[in-house]
Amino acid sequence: MKRIVDGHLLKWKQDSRRKPLLLRGARQVGKTYAARTLGKTFKNFVEINFELNPELGVVFEKNLEPVRILADLEYLLGKKIVPGQTLLFFDEIQNFPKGITALRYFYELMPALHVIAAGSLLDFAVESVGMPVGRVMSLYMYPASFIEFLWALEENLLAEELIKPTLEPFSEIVHNKLLTLVGNYIAVGGMPEAVQTWKETKDLVECSRVHQTIVGTYRQDFGKYATKYQIKYVTTLFNDAPQQLGQQYKYSHVEGEYRKRELAPSLDLLETAGVVNKVYNTSGNGIPLGAEADFSRFKIIFLDVGLSQKLLGLKTGAWLFDPLQELVNKGGLVESFIGQELLAYDDPFEKSQLYYWQRLAPGSQAEVDYLIQKNEQIVPIEVKSGAGTTLKSMHLFLETHSKSSYGIRFSIQNYSHFQKVYSYPLYAIRMAIQ
């Protein structure tokens, strides 16, 4: 699959000021594939998977001197590692956290060598040993975006149009085709294996089997980062997460006799694993948005809309037969889809955080689904799964926030502009925020 991250990795390769790179993201979002794709542009590519070959972790035990580490790896692997010609890729590096610390010395003592490390539970290892500040870069990956989905289906002309910053509506026939493809995407999701399966088979049953395998893999991971006592809470929250899409998250709504103090740390573990993303409430009065965030009030979106529906036990066939009606009926999933897209198109070299705005004044309650920062502007975003003609919350926000001169609405409608609101179709997230 062609991925947006491929271009970022090529720029990293060519940058004389580059630093060793950590590829970060949930399991099976395509980190290893991205590293291998970049490896094809080098004379030599050396991949070491510390889960498959744990005996190689011994190279970090004696000391962290890069010359010695490379010499030992060359002897053990029978391959030459030449700075400037070789991409050295450490996969599943979380199994040997000293390897993360070693990256700083590759930067300081062997800057000509291209080094990438990745791991499915990498963020837990980073928390345990710390990040070599100023010595290592991070690049965050998410499931494939809608544009990447189009690339995978070889709908390249449509993808190109959605990257252009145009303000012209599409013809009705193209508009309807793109909405149908959005329905396909929400049914399949963005996990690369599921997208590839859809491309090859056009069979949602086969995609569902892929989703089930991925869900099972995530569950198997619980014991790797949760204590024996916490596993039951992590499992409960994992199963419950898609139930509360599109609404403020309430621990009291989780099925079972649990307390917040038991559940909150376990939800944090799922967030660190990349399985869920919190959307924090903020007043939206200034930038950065996190400066006035209320971290006790948040919504959540699951990693992937396809996996969400698997956990909810939903049948996804209706997305193919009547996508417009499904887009109208499944508001929480559509809002989650927009959040997933916002994460996918954000700067991958920074950890993305989503925000929303809510007013709880008696008799004047209002909510804006997302707030984003665009240059020096704060832009409110409303998601309307149907026609979406009522925008009271959007207008209230614009009236009360001087740093916001306009807002964005996403809906099934074609592109339009009226007063301070730019309306984009659901397939045009990249176009709207770039």
Q: d(Cα 376, Cα 222) in Å, to the nearest integer? A: 40
- Tell me: pLDDT of 87 over 70: yes
pLDDT in tens, 240-284: 999 999 899 999 999 888 999 999 999 999 999 999 999 999 999
- Tell me: pLDDT of 388 over 60: no
Q: Looking at residue 327, what is its pLDDT?
A: 87
What average pLDDT does the segment 193-215 reach? 97
Angle formed by the axes of helices 192-201 and 204-225, to 10°?
170
Q: Looking at residue 363, what is its pLDDT?
A: 73
CA angle 384, 398, 429 (to 5 degrees): 40
> Letter for the amino acid at 238?
F
Structural contact between residues 22 and 137, judged by C-beta atoms closer than 8 angstroms: yes
Q: Which of 93, 96, 306, 124 is nearest to 223 (CA)?
A: 124
Strands (E), 303-363: 354-361
pLDDT above 90: percentage of residues in the chain: 85
Tell me the pLDDT band of 389, cut-offs 50, 70 and 90: low
Q: Looking at residue 255, what is its pLDDT?
A: 87
- Tell me: pLDDT of 351 over 90: yes
Which range, of 84-93, 201-210, 336-345, 352-361, averages the lowest pLDDT?
A: 352-361
Tell me the pLDDT band of 386, cut-offs 50, 70 and 90: low
What average pLDDT does the segment 54-76 reach? 95
Structural contact between residues 20 and 137, judged by C-beta atoms closer than 8 angstroms: yes
What average pLDDT does the segment 96-107 reach? 95
Concatenate the DSSP letters of all residues of 204-266 into one string: HHHHHHHHHHHHHHHHHHHHHHS-TTTHHHHHHHHHHGGGGTTS---GGGSSSS--HHHHHHH
What average pLDDT does the segment 300-329 reach? 91
- Tell me: pLDDT of 323 over 90: no
What average pLDDT does the segment 352-368 reach? 89
Could you give phi then psi for residue 296, rounded to 5 degrees?
-90, -10
pLDDT in tens, 399-414: 999 889 999 999 999 9
pLDDT in tens, 102-132: 999 999 999 999 999 999 899 999 988 888 7
Q: d(Cα 71, Cα 312) in Å, to the nearest integer? A: 51
Q: d(Cα 149, Cα 197) in Å, to the nearest integer? A: 12
Q: Looking at residue 128, what is its pLDDT?
A: 86
What structural domains does the chain harbor? 4-140 (3.40.50.300), 146-433 (no CATH)
> Letter for the amino acid at 361?
A
Q: d(Cα 200, Cα 57) in Å, to the nearest integer? A: 38
Q: d(Cα 34, Cα 1) in Å, to the nearest integer? A: 9
Tell me the pLDDT band of 16, cut-offs 50, 70 and 90: very high
Q: Which of 25, 329, 17, 23 is nearest to 183 (CA)?
A: 329
What average pLDDT does the segment 149-156 reach? 98
Which CA distances in Å does 434 have to 99, 264, 372, 426, 429?
36, 34, 11, 15, 9
Which range, of 39-48, 64-73, 179-188, 252-261, averages the lowest pLDDT?
A: 252-261
Angle formed by the axes of helices 122-129 and 98-109, to 10°?
70
Q: Looking at residue 134, what is its pLDDT?
A: 87
Return the higher-pLDDT residue of 235 and 166: 235
User: The tokens of 60 are what?
Assistant: 């970090």
Q: Looking at residue 387, what is its pLDDT?
A: 59
- Tell me: pLDDT of 373 over 70: yes
Q: Looking at residue 149, what is its pLDDT?
A: 98
Give Cα 408 distance to the centre of its chain: 21
pLDDT averaged over every residue in the chain: 94
